[in-house]
Amino acid sequence: MLEAGSAIMSAVTREAPVSPEAPADGVALLADSRRTGPQPGWRESGTRLVLGGRRRGPVHRADETTSDRDTVVAIDALTLDAASEIEHLRFRVAERLLLEAIRISDERFGTDAAPSACATALTARMYYELGDVSQADSLLRNRIDHLVGHGTTDTAIATYLTASRIAVARHQISLCTLLLREAIEAGAQRDWHRLVATCLGEMVRVLLSTNHLDEAVEWACRLERLAPDPATPANVDHAMDRLRQVARSRIDLATERVPDAIHRLEALLAITSVDDAPFAHVELSLVYVGGLLRIGDVGRATDTLLTSLELGANAGLVRVFLDAEQSVRNFVHELPATEHCADANRLHRLRPFLRSLGISGADNSTGCAVRSLPRTETLSPQEIRVLRLMSRGLSNKHVARELGIAPETVKTHAKHFMQKLAAQTRAEAVSRAISLRLL
């Protein structure tokens, strides 16, 4: 997803102006304050003013002397600050800020009120990236329409992106594409160009990951044709251009125009500072690793991947590695066994984090080991066929229909391959089969 993540992790801005009749949008006011200074009344209200991730003034506490307008501004300020913290991989700080924003909104306006929509969506996004898919899902389940209906562009991006990623993590590809189509349609209706661009880019990623190259090219062309909005701020226009560049690079990698993709990705990495935007840098680096692997540059791929893993390990960032393209995921799993063990000390320090990604091979003193399935436990061709169909989200009944066998036979095969892979769930079996290159 690349820009998909960085588009919502960067400082929050709203693309539509604030209507005088509507409740004040604190995000928009904060954006204005960067140009004109703090708005009148903020200092007197006790609202905490946040600019560029730096907190100024006391923490806001809603009471009877504080207006609804100032309370909304405080909630949006907390959310903006949290978005900056997430982009910088400071998740614990971000969690405190987001939960505080939700608490203030709940106390002042009631549970699930509009002012907490963006904070709720970002919290779900954060939990997802930390690997807590169930917690993220619980925040979004049956609330997508509510969050998008009461939020900003950034709320919609965080909501749809996280929901679609959860669907992929659960091998529900059809649900993922349905959500992305819905988001693109909603963005077009509301003139939320960044939402449309983000979801077009994500659609390209998902289709390529499921080997639907022709469809991916069609969606990438739609992204290229997306007309720029003359009123779009420069930073948003830059983010949308980066989305196009990444989608173009993904298509180039899939169609063997690898040198073009690598050149483009190197240019993007050069302007995506690891200090200023580490989250975006990690996402982009993993796409770059995929390109390096295609040209056989294992040395540079290893170094780039280790740097990204170190950033991820320090922050607890999990899903970005599990959601990378297949070749990169395979390389992550093979890393402990790589011959390039000049960085054995780095691998040794990463061992606990690699285990959290489902990699159990880095257990000797050099950090070099091989994950393999015992010969006696090799999956049969039919078990592999069943597992491959299940990885696409098919039920037992549909798998049976595809293979022309009885549903009970499908269950038997599933029981056997789960035992052989020492997996507790089918999703875990799929993950382990992928890491062992069985799929």
Lowest mean pLDDT among 164-173, 214-223, 283-292, 341-350: 341-350
- pLDDT confidence of residue 360: 52
The rounded distance, in Å, linking the Cα atoms of 398 and 37 is 60
Lowest mean pLDDT among 309-313, 321-325, 393-397, 400-404: 393-397
CATH number of 3-174+182-190: 1.25.40
3-class DSSP assignment, residue 141: coil
Which tokens sit at 377? 């436990």
- pLDDT confidence of residue 63: 53
pTM for this predicted structure: 0.70
In CATH, what is the architecture of 375-435?
Orthogonal Bundle (1.10)
Start-to-end CA distance of the chain, whole Å, equals 22
The rounded distance, in Å, linking the Cα atoms of 309 and 332 is 9
DSSP string of 197-248?
HHHHHHHHHHHHHTT-HHHHHHHHHHHHHPPPPTTS-HHHHHHHHHHHHHHH
- Average pLDDT, whole number, for the chain? 80
Calculate the alpha carbon distances from 201 to 13, 134, 151, 164, 177 in Å: 20, 25, 21, 13, 12
The rounded distance, in Å, linking the Cα atoms of 279 and 297 is 24
Split at pLDDT 50, 70, 90, the class of 426 is confident
89-112 mean pLDDT: 94
Which amino acid is residue 396, in one-letter code?
Answer: N
Helices 68-87 & 26-36 angle (0-180, nearest 10): 80
Residue 187 has pLDDT above 70, yes or no: yes
The rounded distance, in Å, linking the Cα atoms of 146 and 110 is 14
Beta bridge partners of 49: 56
Number of other CB atoms surrounding residue 147 within 10 Å: 24
The rounded distance, in Å, linking the Cα atoms of 97 and 109 is 18
Residue range 217-259, pLDDT digits in tens:
999 999 999 876 666 677 777 888 999 999 999 999 999 899 9
Higher pLDDT, 221 or 367: 221
Higher pLDDT, 217 or 369: 217
Number of other CB atoms surrounding residue 392 within 10 Å: 15
Lowest mean pLDDT among 58-62, 115-119, 349-353: 58-62
Higher pLDDT, 433 or 301: 301
Split at pLDDT 50, 70, 90, the class of 155 is very high
- Residue 414, C-beta contacts closer than 8 angstroms, at least 6 positions apart: 386, 387, 390, 396, 426, 429
Residue range 21-75, pLDDT digits in tens:
333 333 333 333 333 333 333 332 333 333 333 343 444 455 556 789 999 999 9
The rounded distance, in Å, linking the Cα atoms of 90 and 71 is 25
Q: Where are the domains of the chain?
A: 3-174+182-190, 375-435
The rounded distance, in Å, linking the Cα atoms of 326 and 439 is 10
